[in-house]
């Protein structure tokens, strides 16, 4: 692939992975218990993720993204802007 096809991503805000999970959850007016029921992930684990005490991980990211109706990258790479013309 030609590197000219890609633009460098840039970070626009300083948000942790856990904060991104909390923000998206709260925007959808879901409690941690609601999200736990939707994903099968224990509420205590969701709390630990949101407080950056536990790594999100690929499988949890997919489960949470599915329940929160967003792409996993929204949770895993918070605050990054890809911009127009960026190859997917």
Interatomic CA distance for residues 86 and 9, integer angstroms: 9
Instruction: For the chain, give every domain's residue range.
Output: 13-81
**Which fold is adopted by the domain 13-81?**
434 Repressor (Amino-terminal Domain) (1.10.260)
Prediction pTM value: 0.74
Closest CA to 60 of 83, 35, 31: 35
| Residue position matching structure tokens 């994903």 | 39
Q: What is the pLDDT of residues 8-64, one digit of tens each?
A: 656 566 789 999 999 999 999 999 999 999 999 999 999 999 999 999 999 999 999
């Amino acid at each position: 692939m030609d590197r000219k096809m890609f633009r460098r991503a840039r970070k626009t805000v300083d948000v942790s992975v856990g904060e991104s999970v909390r923000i998206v959850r709260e925007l959808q007016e879901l409690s941690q218990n609601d999200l736990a029921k939707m994903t099968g992930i224990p509420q205590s684990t969701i709390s630990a993720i949101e407080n950056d005490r536990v790594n999100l991980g690929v499988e949890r990211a997919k489960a949470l993204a599915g329940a929160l109706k967003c792409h996993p990258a929204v949770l895993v790479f918070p605050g990054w802007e890809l911009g127009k013309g960026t190859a997917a």
